[in-house]
Amino acid sequence: DGGITQSPKYLFRKEGQNVTLSCEQNLNHDAMYWYRQDPGQGLRLIYYSQIVNDFQKGDIAEGYSVSREKKESFPLTVTSAQKNPTAFYLCASTPLTRPGDYGYTFGSGTRLTVV
């Protein structure tokens, strides 16, 4: 079955450590997105990519980095510069042809906790 796989489901980070969250899709979708979810704040866009080797900053990109070397993969690195990284991270994708018709397909999320 096609879908989006996020791993790991739970991740613990020590202070000053970089961690990478994986997002892989086999839907042949062009665009991929990373959102951060905090209680009461909804979904906030971190980065998105519409084509391989290109990506754009979202509303809260500081302290995060991404790459898009393959169409299927869009990993997110939470760097030590992100001062409050504890949150639930969601990856999503959509085809760019008639994107409004499809909305987004979401992964199951990664819960990151700073210890």
55-77: b (≥16 Cβ within 10 Å) or e? beebebbeebbbbbeeebebbbe
d(CA 87, CA 67): 21
CB of 94: closest distance to another protein in angstroms?
A: 9
CB-based burial label for 22 (10 Å; 0-12, 13-18, 19+): middle
**Considering the rule CB under 8 A, would residue 75 count as an interface residue with another protein?**
no
User: Judged by CB under 8 A, which of 43, 52, 60, 61 binds another protein?
Assistant: 43
**Part in contact with another protein (CB under 8 A); list of ranges 60-68, 70-78, 79-87, 95-103:** 95-103
Task: Give dist(CA 64, CA 13) in Å, integer.
Answer: 14
Choose, by CB under 8 A, the member of 55, 64, 107, 114 that binds another protein: 107
Catalog residues that contact another protein under the rule CB under 8 A.
Answer: 4, 6, 31, 33, 35, 40-43, 45, 48, 50, 58, 88, 90, 92, 96, 99-101, 103-109, 111
